[in-house]
Amino acid sequence: MNQSAPSPAPALAPISTAAEAERAIANLNAIMDRLVITVEEETARVRAGHLSRAVELDESKVALARAYAIQTERLKVAKDLVVQNMPDAFDRLRDRHTTFRAMLQTNLTVLATAHAVSEGIIRGVSGELARKQAPSTYGASGRANTPGARASQPLAISREL
């Protein structure tokens, strides 16, 4: 299978008129609508413990995030034009971005929590297996020795969710 590098995103023409800026804002709002739905669904699935179902959203989330970044950058370049011709639309877009960032922070917190819990479970299982496989011996002080790092066997896990 040919593993070529992904092609770069096509360059969009710069915004030069108020009508183009209005279309760009409408396009960005549509992208954000779909991205919000996708991120909220991912958050709900992870919170419910349906990790394999959450992974199903990765491809569309990446594509939407890429489109979001392209449109946002395009509007940043034309900020002066947008502010001058559509100050209300610019303010609404800025407010929407603030709300969107808060929602993304919640999503990242849920993902980080799921990661930490998963890691804790794996470490706990690994430690318990090492403890059970290590010989039970006593040290010079008469206390039980704890298994050393070399006593543990590697833990194999399935990466399938």
Q: How many structural domains does the chain have?
A: 1
**Does the residue 95 lie in any domain?**
yes
**Does the residue 87 lie in any domain?**
yes
Span of 2-6, 79-83, 84-88 with lowest mean pLDDT: 2-6
**Does the residue 88 lie in any domain?**
yes
**Does the residue 55 lie in any domain?**
yes
- What is the pTM assigned to this prediction? 0.69
The residue range of the domain holding 73 is 18-131
**Does the residue 99 lie in any domain?**
yes
CA dist 113 → 16, 47, 71, 100, 108 (Å): 44, 9, 31, 20, 8
Amino acid residing at 39:
V
Does residue 145 have a pLDDT over 90? no
**Does the residue 155 lie in any domain?**
no
**Does the residue 159 lie in any domain?**
no
At 84-142, the pLDDT tens digits run 999 899 899 999 999 999 999 999 999 999 989 888 888 888 777 777 776 667 777 87
At 127-138, the pLDDT tens digits run 777 777 766 677
**Does the residue 3 lie in any domain?**
no
